[in-house]
Amino acid sequence: MQLGNIFESIPDDLDEELLEQIVQTQHVRIERIVSTGQASPESGWYDQEQSEWVVVLKGGAVIAFEDGTEVNLQAGDYLDISAHTKHRVSWSDPETETIWLAVHY
């Protein structure tokens, strides 16, 4: 059994995005991500082998896609990203923690 709280144990000063694996099986990986104003590098796109479902639990962020589409996510919003859909985080709220839950499947 594993017990935790998605909103606790967050360092006070995050220079880089915090990525924590919560669960991993052969077919599914669940991660907690905490952003404090970080964005993906301008030159890089995520191009993942698995699909990814993300939900913003606190804060806000913008996901940009290679085709120019941008999706603004606020607390409670979720997004399902198909495998090999190139995307990046173009903005996350620098004024508050953005806490994500990401499910790779």
Q: How far apart are CA 103 and CA 100, in angstroms?
A: 10
Question: What pLDDT, on a 0 to 100 scale, did the predictor assign at position 44?
Answer: 84
Q: How far apart are CA 93 and CA 79, in angstroms?
A: 18
Can you give the residue ranges of every domain in the chain? 18-104
Give me the residue label for tokens 């970080």.
38
pTM higher than 0.85: yes
- The CATH class for the domain spanning 18-104 reads mainly beta
Contact 35, 97 (CB under 8 A): yes
Q: How far apart are CA 51 and CA 20, in angstroms?
A: 18
Contact 64, 70 (CB under 8 A): yes
Question: What pLDDT, on a 0 to 100 scale, did the predictor assign at position 43?
Answer: 79
Q: Which residues contact 15 (CB under 8 A, 6 or more apart)?
A: none
Q: How far apart are CA 70 and CA 79, in angstroms?
A: 12
Q: How far apart are CA 2 and CA 48, in angstroms?
A: 27
* 18-60 tens-digit pLDDT: 999 999 999 999 999 999 999 988 778 999 999 999 999 999 9
Q: How many residues does the chain have?
A: 105
